[in-house]
Structure 1
Amino acid sequence: MGFAPPPANHLGAAILCTIVCFMPFGIVALVKAVSVNSLWALGRVDAAHRASRSARNWCLLAALVWPVVPVLAFGLFIVVGMALSMR
């Protein structure tokens, strides 16, 4: 039986996504990334790989949602402004 290195924890990307991108998804990615090494140390190899993939996916989702949020906020601002001006 050989030894394999632990999966990437994507902690740097999770921190970056939390600070720069959409924070709620970045926090989920951060929690998943932190759990990778502890799961690996406990011998839960499959769970560590799942947590690694999940951290990566949440980072990607945060990066994809990040440019959409200001557009939606601006659209909501316009709609509310128009509704209030019609009164």
Structure 2
Amino acid sequence: MTYNAPPPPSGPVGGTPPPNNLVWAILTTIFCCLPLGVVSIVYAAQVNGKFAAGDLAGAQESSRKAKQWAIWSAVTAIVLTVIYIIVIVVIASSGDSTSSTGF
């Protein structure tokens, strides 16, 4: 009597895994906002495991959240950069007005 083990689950039959967005998560962690990017990496790392376990809905949800957190990280970086530039311009312009009066 031989026993053939069933093959490991490979997600839904004929399905492809949703994008894990890991590249975007890593890039936004490095170049944008570290805390939000780390959350994105965590969700991106869950996608393939959930898909392999046959949890397509969970894999899609993790994919969506990884993308969402990566976008939030990029937007946060853009907003903070704009605020930083505005502050620098205001400081530079206020410095010019004091130097022209001689005080």
Normalising by the smaller structure, the TM-score range is 0.7 to 0.9
Identity of aligned residues (%): 36
- Consecutive unaligned residues in structure 1, runs of 5 or more: 79-87
Q: Larger Rg: 1 or 2? A: 2
Matched, 1:36 2:64: no
Equivalent residue number for residue 64 of structure 1: 75
Higher helix share: 1
SS of residue matched to 2:19:
coil
The TM-score, its normalising length taken from structure 1, stands at 0.77
Q: How many residues align?
A: 76
Q: Pick from 34, 48, 52: which aligns with 1:23? A: 34
- Consecutive unaligned residues in structure 2, runs of 5 or more: 1-11, 92-103
The TM-score, its normalising length taken from structure 2, stands at 0.66
Question: What value does the CA root-mean-square deviation take over the aligned residues?
Answer: 2.0
